[in-house]
Structure 1
Amino acid sequence: MISTFVIFALFILYFINRMTNTLCLQKEIPEEKQPKVFRTINILITILLISSYVEVLYT
């Protein structure tokens, strides 16, 4: 169960990062601000994935 969820989470993080990169290119976000954008989105997605895992685990 946990290995399936980890693989699923890595898949989601990879595609979210690809979409974030596309967003940065389209909106022409400066290079010095891009790490902050990536960090913020990755933290929020990680929180979402952890909370969804906890919900699945306890239901």
Structure 2
Amino acid sequence: MYIFFIVFALFILFYINALTNTLCIQKEIPAEKQPKVFRTINVLITILLVSSYIEVSFT
């Protein structure tokens, strides 16, 4: 079960990064601001995935 969750979480992170890249291209976000956008979204998604993992582990 835990292996499946980790693989699923990695898939989610890669997919969210692809969507973020599309967002940056579509909204024409300057290149110097793109790392901040990626970092913010990745941190928020990681927090969401960790909290989901903890909830699944302890229920």
TM more than 0.5: yes
TM-score, normalising length from structure 1? 0.96
- Kindly indicate whether residue 33 of structure 2 is the aligned counterpart of residue 33 of structure 1: yes
Name the SS of the counterpart of 2:31 in structure 1.
coil
Q: Which segments of structure 1 move beyond 4 Å, counting only runs of 4 or more? A: none
Query: Tell me, which stretches of 5 or more residues in structure 2 are unaligned?
Result: none
**Alpha-carbon distance between aligned partners in 2 of 1:47 and 1:37, rounded to the nearest angstrom:** 16
Q: Which residue of 1 aligns with 2:56?
A: 56
* Cα shift readout 1:22-51 (whole Å, capped 9, x = no counterpart): 000000000000000000000000000000
Alignment of 1:40-51 (within 5 A): 40-51=40-51
In the alignment, structure 1 segments of 5+ residues that lack a partner are: none
Secondary structure of 2:36's counterpart equals helix
What TM-score do you get using the length of structure 2 for normalisation?
0.96
1-structure distance, mates of 2:2, 2:55: 13
Q: Percent identity?
A: 73
